[in-house]
Structure 1
Amino acid sequence: MKIWIMRHGEAGFNALTDSQRKLTEAGKRMAYQQGIYLGKQLNNEQNYLDKIIVSPYLRTQETWDEVEKGMQAVGFIPSFANVIETWEGITPSSSPEQVSDYLAFLESEGAKHVLLISHLPLVFDLVQHLTQYQQSVHFYPAVLAEIEWDGMIGKLLTVEKP
């Protein structure tokens, strides 16, 4: 299974709660760039996304919107209606063990390509967990890490910075 783990784009701090923080204009551009990168990669490999999992926080939802626009800009235009999922299980303080259990379930259901858009510290912890603490990524805003995971151990393939 290929898993792309992405941190949301740069977000501002003008919100009443953490979950209501919005992307900055720079954050939107970063996410759009990453959508272009991922769309090109999927097109080149003739792949698709079986599942897109996004945190319910506003900045991750906005990140997905921009990623989708970037993917569409390079001609990657499948319908995401049946594969997108907003999940409370990938908010900042969520458990990487719980996420990997869900990924294992998705793999058992036939999923081969999954995009996950979340937050620090979860994205950092999840990469470490999936690679059995052999690899880590510095997740600046909108960084996208690609992992090949066999259900037990993962290997970090690429890290794309906007």
Structure 2
Amino acid sequence: MKLWVLRHGEAELRANSDAERRLTAQGREQVLRSALHLQGQPLQAILASPYVRAQQTAALVHGTSNLAPPVTTVDWLTPDSDAQHVIAMLEKLELEEVLLVSHQPLVGILVALLEQGHRQQPAPLGTASLAELEGDWPLPGLMTLKALHHS
């Protein structure tokens, strides 16, 4: 399995709620740079948090590839979602090439858990950072971090 984990691009500091924060112009540019690393990848799914900035990020990635599948919104990719629950949901999907678009602290914890098997040292994913993990199963400690791209 190849799993890509993308943190949303830079977002506005203020909005009516955290979920409503939109990408800034710089955030959109960051995402487009990160999306270059996904070109040519045979993604089977793009799963995104319902938060506006993650939806915008996923839409930008989708728009850069003619082959990308449509974006699917899932409620288990919000900032405070449980990384173990995300792993359980990934197992159920039984897909080989997946892109997750989400937020800190979830993305850092998820990458660390999949690679190291624990949450003590979350991966340093800044805005629009893209982690590429590979392994037979999406289970704690069983995936290898192949690359970490920062925009």
Same fold (TM over 0.5): yes
Match of 2:143 in 1: 154
Query: Runs of 4+ in structure 1 displaced over 2 angstroms?
Result: 133-137
Q: What's the CA shift string for 1:116-158, capped at 9, x where partnerless?
A: 0000000011011112139752111000000013223111000
The runs of 5 or more residues in structure 1 that have no matched partner are none
Match of 2:49 in 1: 55
CA apart distance, 1:68: 2.2
Higher share in helix: 1
Secondary structure (helix, strand or coil) at the match of 1:4 reads strand
Secondary structure (helix, strand or coil) at the match of 1:128 reads helix
| Percent identity (aligned) | 35
Q: Is the 8 A contact 1:22 1:58 kept in 2?
A: yes
- TM-score, structure 1 as length reference: 0.84
CA apart distance, 1:4: 0.3
- TM-score, structure 2 as length reference: 0.90
Counterpart-to-counterpart distance in 2, 1:52 and 1:8? 13
Match of 1:21 in 2: 21
Q: What amino acid is aligned across from residue 129 of structure 2 in structure 1?
A: V
Q: Is the 8 A contact 1:8 1:142 kept in 2?
A: yes
Q: Is the 8 A contact 2:50 2:75 kept in 1?
A: yes
Q: What amino acid is aligned across from residue 118 of structure 1 in structure 2?
A: S
The runs of 5 or more residues in structure 2 that have no matched partner are none
Q: What amino acid is aligned across from residue 150 of structure 2 in structure 1?
A: K
